């Protein structure tokens, strides 16, 4: 076990020397029924005109949607 831990430490040290840092993210489990219900409730509460305005702004300002780019 110590050998694996030491290898991981060495890998992290090498990456830090390159200016990189490990990042771990915890996200909701989309397979969980309780999470899916909570998301459904939140989506149902969204204000559709506000969401439409936000999406329109994103599309108008997105460099990826610019055919001239």
Instruction: Determine the structural domain holding residue 11 and report its residue range.
Output: 2-62
Structural domains of the chain, count: 1
Would you say residue 69 lies in a domain? no
Residue-level pLDDT at 2? 74
For residue 63, pLDDT beyond 60: yes
Would you say residue 33 lies in a domain? yes
Residue-level pLDDT at 26? 94
The dihedrals phi and psi of 2, each to the nearest 5 degrees, come to: -65, -35
Triad 31, 33, 37: Cα angle to 5°:
120
Would you say residue 68 lies in a domain? no
Would you say residue 23 lies in a domain? yes
pLDDT in tens, 12-61: 999 999 999 888 999 999 999 999 999 999 999 999 999 999 999 998 88
Would you say residue 47 lies in a domain? yes
For residue 69, pLDDT beyond 60: no
């Amino acid at each position: 076990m110590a050998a694996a831990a030491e290898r991981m430490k060495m890998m992290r040290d090498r990456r830090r020397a390159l200016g990189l840092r490990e990042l771990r993210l915890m996200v909701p489990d989309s397979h969980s029924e309780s999470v899916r219900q909570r998301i459904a409730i939140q989506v149902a509460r969204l204000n559709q005109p506000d969401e439409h305005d936000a999406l329109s702004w994103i599309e108008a300002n997105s460099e990826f949607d610019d055919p001239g780019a």
